[in-house]
Protein backbone atom coordinates (compact mmCIF):
# COMPACT_ATOMS: atom_id res chain seq x y z
CA UNK A 1 0.00 0.00 0.00
CA UNK A 2 1.26 3.45 -0.94
CA UNK A 3 0.68 6.29 1.54
CA UNK A 4 -1.71 8.07 -0.85
CA UNK A 5 -3.68 4.95 -1.88
CA UNK A 6 -7.41 5.23 -1.22
CA UNK A 7 -8.27 2.97 1.73
CA UNK A 8 -11.84 2.29 2.79
CA UNK A 9 -12.32 1.16 6.40
CA UNK A 10 -15.85 -0.24 6.76
CA UNK A 11 -16.98 0.00 10.38
CA UNK A 12 -14.54 2.78 11.32
CA UNK A 13 -16.43 3.78 14.48
CA UNK A 14 -16.32 0.32 16.01
CA UNK A 15 -13.52 -0.89 18.24
CA UNK A 16 -11.70 -2.73 15.44
CA UNK A 17 -12.30 -0.21 12.66
CA UNK A 18 -11.25 2.75 14.79
CA UNK A 19 -8.05 0.91 15.78
CA UNK A 20 -7.28 0.27 12.09
CA UNK A 21 -7.87 3.96 11.26
CA UNK A 22 -5.56 5.01 14.13
CA UNK A 23 -2.87 2.64 12.90
CA UNK A 24 -3.14 3.79 9.28
CA UNK A 25 -3.04 7.44 10.33
CA UNK A 26 0.02 6.90 12.55
CA UNK A 27 1.80 5.22 9.61
CA UNK A 28 1.16 8.27 7.42
CA UNK A 29 -1.68 7.04 5.19
CA UNK A 30 -3.51 10.16 4.06
CA UNK A 31 -6.41 8.93 1.91
CA UNK A 32 -8.66 7.02 4.32
CA UNK A 33 -12.37 6.90 3.40
CA UNK A 34 -15.05 6.31 6.02
CA UNK A 35 -18.83 6.49 6.22
CA UNK A 36 -21.06 6.29 9.28
CA UNK A 37 -24.04 3.93 9.18
CA UNK A 38 -26.38 6.93 8.86
CA UNK A 39 -24.42 8.10 5.80
CA UNK A 40 -24.21 4.65 4.20
CA UNK A 41 -26.38 1.67 5.16
CA UNK A 42 -24.13 -1.26 4.28
CA UNK A 43 -27.20 -3.54 4.14
CA UNK A 44 -28.47 -1.55 1.15
CA UNK A 45 -26.92 -3.09 -1.96
CA UNK A 46 -27.55 -0.17 -4.30
CA UNK A 47 -26.17 2.34 -1.80
CA UNK A 48 -23.00 0.28 -1.37
CA UNK A 49 -22.57 -0.16 -5.13
CA UNK A 50 -23.02 3.60 -5.70
CA UNK A 51 -20.49 4.39 -2.97
CA UNK A 52 -17.85 2.07 -4.47
CA UNK A 53 -18.46 3.36 -7.98
CA UNK A 54 -18.03 6.95 -6.82
CA UNK A 55 -15.08 6.49 -4.45
CA UNK A 56 -13.17 3.65 -6.20
CA UNK A 57 -11.12 2.57 -3.15
CA UNK A 58 -7.83 0.73 -3.76
CA UNK A 59 -7.90 -1.22 -0.49
CA UNK A 60 -10.74 -2.29 1.81
CA UNK A 61 -10.72 -3.34 5.45
CA UNK A 62 -14.10 -5.01 6.06
CA UNK A 63 -14.49 -4.50 9.81
CA UNK A 64 -18.19 -3.59 9.77
CA UNK A 65 -20.53 -6.07 11.44
CA UNK A 66 -23.46 -6.38 13.80
CA UNK A 67 -21.78 -7.67 16.96
CA UNK A 68 -22.64 -8.48 20.57
CA UNK A 69 -22.08 -10.83 23.47
CA UNK A 70 -23.66 -14.17 24.28
CA UNK A 71 -27.07 -12.71 25.20
CA UNK A 72 -27.38 -10.44 22.17
CA UNK A 73 -26.27 -13.22 19.82
CA UNK A 74 -28.86 -15.60 21.23
CA UNK A 75 -31.69 -13.04 21.34
CA UNK A 76 -31.34 -11.39 17.93
CA UNK A 77 -30.52 -14.52 15.94
CA UNK A 78 -32.24 -13.46 12.71
CA UNK A 79 -30.71 -9.97 12.74
CA UNK A 80 -27.20 -11.27 13.41
CA UNK A 81 -27.44 -13.61 10.42
CA UNK A 82 -29.32 -11.34 8.00
CA UNK A 83 -27.50 -8.07 8.67
CA UNK A 84 -24.03 -9.60 8.57
CA UNK A 85 -24.73 -11.57 5.38
CA UNK A 86 -25.92 -8.41 3.64
CA UNK A 87 -23.01 -6.24 4.84
CA UNK A 88 -20.28 -8.63 3.71
CA UNK A 89 -21.95 -9.72 0.46
CA UNK A 90 -22.56 -6.13 -0.64
CA UNK A 91 -19.02 -4.95 0.13
CA UNK A 92 -17.22 -8.00 -1.28
CA UNK A 93 -19.21 -7.94 -4.53
CA UNK A 94 -18.79 -4.16 -4.90
CA UNK A 95 -15.03 -4.57 -4.32
CA UNK A 96 -14.91 -7.12 -7.15
CA UNK A 97 -17.00 -4.96 -9.53
CA UNK A 98 -14.81 -1.92 -8.90
CA UNK A 99 -11.47 -3.77 -9.15
CA UNK A 100 -10.31 -3.15 -5.58
CA UNK A 101 -6.61 -4.12 -5.36
CA UNK A 102 -7.01 -6.01 -2.09
CA UNK A 103 -9.69 -6.62 0.52
CA UNK A 104 -9.36 -7.94 4.07
CA UNK A 105 -12.39 -9.57 5.70
CA UNK A 106 -12.42 -9.74 9.49
CA UNK A 107 -14.19 -12.75 10.94
CA UNK A 108 -14.44 -14.06 14.48
CA UNK A 109 -13.10 -16.99 16.47
CA UNK A 110 -16.69 -18.27 16.90
CA UNK A 111 -16.48 -19.68 13.35
CA UNK A 112 -14.78 -22.78 14.75
CA UNK A 113 -16.70 -25.87 15.93
CA UNK A 114 -17.75 -25.78 19.60
CA UNK A 115 -15.79 -28.89 20.52
CA UNK A 116 -12.84 -28.42 18.14
CA UNK A 117 -9.43 -29.46 19.51
CA UNK A 118 -7.46 -26.69 21.21
CA UNK A 119 -5.68 -24.58 20.17
CA UNK A 120 -7.88 -23.76 17.17
CA UNK A 121 -6.08 -24.27 13.88
CA UNK A 122 -7.28 -22.59 10.69
CA UNK A 123 -8.04 -25.96 9.08
CA UNK A 124 -10.63 -26.83 11.78
CA UNK A 125 -13.18 -24.62 10.00
CA UNK A 126 -16.33 -26.62 9.08
CA UNK A 127 -15.23 -29.80 10.85
CA UNK A 128 -18.06 -29.92 13.42
CA UNK A 129 -21.19 -28.27 14.91
CA UNK A 130 -21.00 -24.65 16.09
CA UNK A 131 -21.76 -23.22 19.53
CA UNK A 132 -25.57 -22.90 19.53
CA UNK A 133 -25.83 -19.48 21.20
CA UNK A 134 -23.94 -17.64 18.45
CA UNK A 135 -24.47 -19.98 15.50
CA UNK A 136 -26.20 -17.36 13.26
CA UNK A 137 -23.31 -14.88 13.68
CA UNK A 138 -20.75 -17.64 13.11
CA UNK A 139 -22.51 -18.82 9.93
CA UNK A 140 -22.54 -15.26 8.59
CA UNK A 141 -18.80 -14.96 9.24
CA UNK A 142 -18.11 -18.34 7.63
CA UNK A 143 -20.06 -17.15 4.59
CA UNK A 144 -17.79 -14.08 4.43
CA UNK A 145 -14.68 -16.26 4.42
CA UNK A 146 -16.11 -18.47 1.71
CA UNK A 147 -17.14 -15.44 -0.35
CA UNK A 148 -13.54 -14.19 -0.29
CA UNK A 149 -12.29 -17.64 -1.30
CA UNK A 150 -14.88 -17.97 -4.08
CA UNK A 151 -14.15 -14.53 -5.56
CA UNK A 152 -10.45 -15.41 -5.50
CA UNK A 153 -11.14 -18.77 -7.21
CA UNK A 154 -13.53 -17.46 -9.86
CA UNK A 155 -12.30 -13.92 -10.51
CA UNK A 156 -8.72 -13.88 -9.20
CA UNK A 157 -9.51 -11.24 -6.54
CA UNK A 158 -6.86 -10.74 -3.85
CA UNK A 159 -9.36 -11.02 -0.98
CA UNK A 160 -7.99 -12.36 2.32
CA UNK A 161 -9.64 -13.33 5.62
CA UNK A 162 -8.37 -12.96 9.17
CA UNK A 163 -9.90 -14.38 12.35
CA UNK A 164 -9.31 -12.28 15.46
CA UNK A 165 -9.64 -13.80 18.91
CA UNK A 166 -11.66 -12.04 21.65
CA UNK A 167 -10.89 -8.33 21.44
CA UNK A 168 -11.01 -5.43 23.85
CA UNK A 169 -9.66 -1.88 23.92
CA UNK A 170 -10.56 1.69 23.07
CA UNK A 171 -14.15 2.38 21.95
CA UNK A 172 -15.39 -0.95 23.29
CA UNK A 173 -19.07 -1.63 23.97
CA UNK A 174 -19.89 -1.51 27.71
CA UNK A 175 -23.63 -2.18 27.53
CA UNK A 176 -24.23 -4.93 30.11
CA UNK A 177 -26.95 -6.57 27.97
CA UNK A 178 -24.97 -7.05 24.78
CA UNK A 179 -21.29 -6.52 25.52
CA UNK A 180 -18.52 -9.09 25.63
CA UNK A 181 -17.12 -10.47 28.86
CA UNK A 182 -14.11 -8.22 29.41
CA UNK A 183 -15.80 -4.81 28.94
CA UNK A 184 -18.78 -6.09 30.95
CA UNK A 185 -16.41 -6.96 33.82
CA UNK A 186 -14.73 -3.55 33.64
CA UNK A 187 -18.09 -1.81 33.92
CA UNK A 188 -19.42 -4.13 36.64
CA UNK A 189 -16.36 -3.70 38.87
CA UNK A 190 -16.22 0.05 38.26
CA UNK A 191 -19.87 0.59 39.16
CA UNK A 192 -19.58 -1.68 42.20
CA UNK A 193 -16.57 0.31 43.37
CA UNK A 194 -18.38 3.63 42.86
CA UNK A 195 -21.43 2.41 44.79
CA UNK A 196 -19.40 0.77 47.55
CA UNK A 197 -21.05 -2.59 46.77
CA UNK A 198 -20.00 -5.66 48.73
CA UNK A 199 -19.90 -8.08 45.79
CA UNK A 200 -19.84 -8.44 42.02
CA UNK A 201 -21.70 -11.33 40.37
CA UNK A 202 -20.15 -12.84 37.24
CA UNK A 203 -22.10 -15.04 34.80
CA UNK A 204 -21.32 -18.76 34.67
CA UNK A 205 -18.90 -20.93 36.60
CA UNK A 206 -15.73 -18.98 35.87
CA UNK A 207 -14.09 -22.08 34.41
CA UNK A 208 -14.23 -21.37 30.63
CA UNK A 209 -10.94 -20.22 29.17
CA UNK A 210 -10.63 -17.27 26.81
CA UNK A 211 -7.87 -15.50 24.91
CA UNK A 212 -7.84 -11.70 24.71
CA UNK A 213 -6.12 -9.38 22.25
CA UNK A 214 -5.92 -5.61 22.53
CA UNK A 215 -7.61 -4.08 19.47
CA UNK A 216 -4.58 -1.94 18.59
CA UNK A 217 -2.48 -5.10 18.40
CA UNK A 218 -5.09 -6.51 16.01
CA UNK A 219 -4.84 -3.34 13.89
CA UNK A 220 -1.05 -3.81 13.75
CA UNK A 221 -1.54 -7.40 12.57
CA UNK A 222 -4.14 -6.36 9.98
CA UNK A 223 -1.85 -3.75 8.47
CA UNK A 224 1.05 -6.22 8.49
CA UNK A 225 -0.99 -8.93 6.74
CA UNK A 226 -2.48 -6.47 4.24
CA UNK A 227 1.09 -5.73 3.16
CA UNK A 228 2.60 -9.22 3.40
CA UNK A 229 -0.07 -11.92 3.08
CA UNK A 230 -1.76 -12.86 -0.20
CA UNK A 231 -3.00 -16.43 0.29
CA UNK A 232 -6.46 -17.97 0.06
CA UNK A 233 -6.38 -19.57 3.52
CA UNK A 234 -7.59 -17.57 6.50
CA UNK A 235 -5.19 -16.45 9.25
CA UNK A 236 -5.84 -16.53 13.00
CA UNK A 237 -4.89 -13.39 14.92
CA UNK A 238 -4.38 -13.76 18.67
CA UNK A 239 -1.83 -14.05 21.44
CA UNK A 240 -1.66 -17.84 21.73
CA UNK A 241 -2.33 -17.58 25.49
CA UNK A 242 -5.60 -17.89 27.43
CA UNK A 243 -6.96 -17.35 30.94
CA UNK A 244 -9.99 -18.61 32.90
CA UNK A 245 -12.92 -16.22 33.27
CA UNK A 246 -12.37 -16.41 37.04
CA UNK A 247 -8.73 -15.31 36.77
CA UNK A 248 -9.74 -12.63 34.27
CA UNK A 249 -12.35 -11.32 36.72
CA UNK A 250 -9.75 -11.24 39.49
CA UNK A 251 -7.37 -9.33 37.21
CA UNK A 252 -10.03 -6.76 36.29
CA UNK A 253 -11.03 -6.48 39.97
CA UNK A 254 -7.39 -5.70 40.82
CA UNK A 255 -6.90 -3.16 38.00
CA UNK A 256 -10.17 -1.36 38.85
CA UNK A 257 -9.43 -1.45 42.58
CA UNK A 258 -12.66 -3.09 43.76
CA UNK A 259 -12.34 -4.33 47.33
CA UNK A 260 -15.47 -6.51 47.65
CA UNK A 261 -16.20 -10.17 46.95
CA UNK A 262 -16.47 -12.01 43.64
CA UNK A 263 -19.29 -14.56 43.18
CA UNK A 264 -20.44 -16.65 40.20
CA UNK A 265 -24.03 -17.14 39.00
CA UNK A 266 -23.87 -20.76 37.83
CA UNK A 267 -27.46 -20.60 36.46
CA UNK A 268 -26.13 -18.44 33.59
CA UNK A 269 -24.52 -20.02 30.48
CA UNK A 270 -20.79 -20.52 30.15
CA UNK A 271 -20.66 -20.71 26.36
CA UNK A 272 -17.81 -22.61 24.73
CA UNK A 273 -15.50 -24.30 27.30
CA UNK A 274 -12.32 -23.01 25.68
CA UNK A 275 -11.38 -20.83 22.71
CA UNK A 276 -7.65 -20.55 22.16
CA UNK A 277 -6.28 -19.66 18.74
CA UNK A 278 -3.38 -21.48 17.17
CA UNK A 279 -1.39 -18.48 15.96
CA UNK A 280 1.64 -20.37 14.63
CA UNK A 281 0.83 -19.26 11.05
CA UNK A 282 0.77 -15.60 12.12
CA UNK A 283 3.91 -15.98 14.24
CA UNK A 284 5.70 -17.66 11.34
CA UNK A 285 5.30 -14.41 9.36
CA UNK A 286 7.25 -12.62 12.09
CA UNK A 287 4.34 -10.83 13.77
CA UNK A 288 3.83 -10.82 17.57
CA UNK A 289 1.43 -8.83 19.76
CA UNK A 290 2.97 -6.17 22.01
CA UNK A 291 0.37 -5.29 24.68
CA UNK A 292 0.05 -7.77 27.58
CA UNK A 293 -3.31 -8.38 29.27
CA UNK A 294 -2.85 -6.39 32.50
CA UNK A 295 -1.49 -3.38 30.62
CA UNK A 296 -4.32 -3.62 28.07
CA UNK A 297 -7.01 -3.81 30.77
CA UNK A 298 -5.54 -0.69 32.42
CA UNK A 299 -5.63 1.16 29.08
CA UNK A 300 -9.21 0.03 28.41
CA UNK A 301 -10.31 1.01 31.93
CA UNK A 302 -8.82 4.50 31.53
CA UNK A 303 -10.69 4.83 28.22
CA UNK A 304 -13.93 3.63 29.86
CA UNK A 305 -13.66 6.23 32.65
CA UNK A 306 -13.01 8.99 30.12
CA UNK A 307 -15.96 8.05 27.90
CA UNK A 308 -18.39 7.02 30.68
CA UNK A 309 -17.81 9.52 33.49
CA UNK A 310 -19.68 8.83 36.72
CA UNK A 311 -22.58 11.30 37.08
CA UNK A 312 -22.03 13.85 39.83
CA UNK A 313 -24.11 13.24 42.94
CA UNK A 314 -26.84 15.87 43.53
Q: Which residues are catalytic?
A: 137
Picking from 79, 89, 148, 139, the residue whose alpha carbon sits closest to that of residue 110 is: 139
Sign of CA dihedral 295, 297, 299, 302: negative
160: helix, strand or coil:
strand
Cα–Cα distance, 86 to 84 (Å, whole number): 5
| Cβ neighbours of 245 (radius 10 Å) | 22
Residue pair 300/182 in contact (Cβ under 8 Å)? The answer is: yes
Say which residues have a Cβ less than 8 Å from residue 238's Cβ, sequence separation at least 6. 109, 164, 165, 211, 213, 276, 277, 279, 282, 289
- Residue 135: DSSP 8-state: H
Cα–Cα distance, 23 to 223 (Å, whole number): 8
Residue ranges of the binding site for NADP(+) = 11-17, 106-109, 141, 164-167, 180
Residue pair 214/291 in contact (Cβ under 8 Å)? The answer is: yes
Residue ranges of the binding site = 11-17, 106-109, 141, 164-167, 180, 188, 203, 210, 270
Amino acid sequence: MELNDKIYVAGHRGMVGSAIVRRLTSEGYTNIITRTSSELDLRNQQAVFDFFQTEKPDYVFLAAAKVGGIQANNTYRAEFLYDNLLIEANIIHAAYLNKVTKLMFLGSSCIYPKMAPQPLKEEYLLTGPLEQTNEPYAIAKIAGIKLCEAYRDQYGCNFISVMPTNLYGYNDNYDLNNSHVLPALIRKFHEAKEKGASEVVVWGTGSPMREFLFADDLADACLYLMEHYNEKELVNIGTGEDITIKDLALLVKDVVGFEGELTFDTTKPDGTPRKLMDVSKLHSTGFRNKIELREGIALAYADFKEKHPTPALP
